[in-house]
Structure 1
Amino acid sequence: MQIEEHEIINQLVIPPQPEVLRVVVEESRKPEPDLSRVARHIARDASVAGGVLQVINSPLFRCRREISSIPHAVNLLGFKRVYALVRTVALRNAMADYPGVDEFWKRGVHVAEATARAAKLIKRPDLLDEAHLIGLFHMVGIPALRSVVGEAYDPLLDRVLTTGWSMLPPQEARLFGITHPRVGALITQRWHVHPAVVHAIDQQYAVEHLSRLDALHVDTPDLVVILKLALRATAAVDASLMTFAEWNACNERLLDYLALPDPSALEALVDAVLMQD
Structure 2
Amino acid sequence: MSQREEIIRKAFAIPQMPMPVQKVLAYIGNPEADLRQLAKIIEYDPGLTVNVLRMANSALFGGSGKVASVRDALSRLGLNRVYQLVIASGVAPMTRYEIKGYGLRPGELLEHSVAVAVAAETLARELERTAPPHTFTSGLLVNIGKTVMGSFLEVDAGPILELAHQRHIPFEQAEEEVLGINHAELGAILLERWSIPVPIVNVVRYRLRPDDCPEPDLALDLVHVGDVIAKMTGIGMGIDGMQYAPSQAVFARLDLTPYQMENVMAAILEQIAEIRDILMEQAL
Which category of TM-score, normalised to the shorter sequence, fits these structures? 0.7 to 0.9
Q: Which residue does 1:223 correspond to in 2?
A: 219
**TM-superposed deviation, 1:228:** 3.0
Deviation at 1:226, TM superposition (A): 0.7
Equivalent position of 1:173 in the other structure: 176
Structure 2 contact 43–70 (Cα < 8 Å) conserved: yes
Indicate if the aligned counterparts of 2:160 and 2:174 stay in contact, CA closer than 8 A. Answer: no
1:269 equivalent in alignment to 2:260:
yes
Q: In structure 1, how many angstroms separate the alpha carbons of the residues matched to 2:141 and 2:160?
A: 18
Letter paired with 1:10: R
Query: What's the CA shift for 1:65?
Result: 4.3
Instruction: Show the counterpart of 1:233.
Output: 229
Query: Pairwise mapping of residues 179-218 of structure 1 onto structure 2 (< 5 A)?
Result: 179-209=182-212, 213-214=214-215
Letter in 1 for 2:83: Y
Partner of 2:141: 137
Query: Aligned residue pairs: how many?
Result: 256
C-alpha contact 1:111 1:230 (8 A) present in aligned 2: yes
**Aligned AA for 1:223?**
A
Q: TM-score, structure 1 length as denominator?
A: 0.75
Shift of 1:90: 2.2
Is the Cα contact below 8 Å between 2:188 and 2:201 reproduced in 1? yes
Give CA deviations for 1:141-179 in whole Å, capped at 9, x if unaligned.
1120123542x414258779x89xx83222222222221
**Equivalent in the alignment of 2:73:** 73
Conservation of the 8 A alpha-carbon contact between 1:169 and 1:179: yes
> Quick check: 1:104–1:140 contact (8 Å CA) kept in 2?
no
Structure 1 partner of 2:276: none
- 168-177 or 52-61, which moves further after superposition? 52-61
Deviation at 1:102, TM superposition (A): 1.7
Distance 2:242 2:175 in 1: 22
Judge conservation of contact 1:99–1:147 (CA < 8 Å) in 2: yes
Residue 274 of structure 2 corresponds to which residue in structure 1?
A: none
Q: CA separation in 1, counterparts of 2:91 and 2:67?
A: 22
Shift of 1:132: 1.4
Equivalent position to 1:112, from 106, 109, 117: 117
Identity of aligned residues (%): 21
| Distance in structure 1 (CA, Å) of the matches to 2:127 and 2:223 | 12
Question: 1:15 is paired with a residue of what secondary structure?
Answer: coil
Tell me the equivalent position of 2:3: 3
Q: Aligned residue for 2:248?
A: 252
RMSD after superposition: 3.4
- Quote how far apart the aligned CAs of 1:199 are: 1.0
For 1:206 and 1:37, the matched residues in 2 are separated by 40
**Cα 1:158–1:72, aligned 2, differ >3 Å: closer, same or farther?**
farther
What letter matches 2:42 in structure 1?
Answer: I
1:38 has 2:34 as partner: no
Distance between the aligned counterparts of 1:175 and 1:119, measured in 2?
36
Question: 1:3-53 CA distances to partner (integer Å, 9 max, x unpaired)?
Answer: 133x3233221335514532552354243x221221122122122223333
> Gaps (5+ residues) in structure 1?
none
**Separation in structure 2 between the aligned mates of residue 96 and residue 107 of structure 1, nearest angstrom:** 11
The letter of the residue matching 1:174 is: E
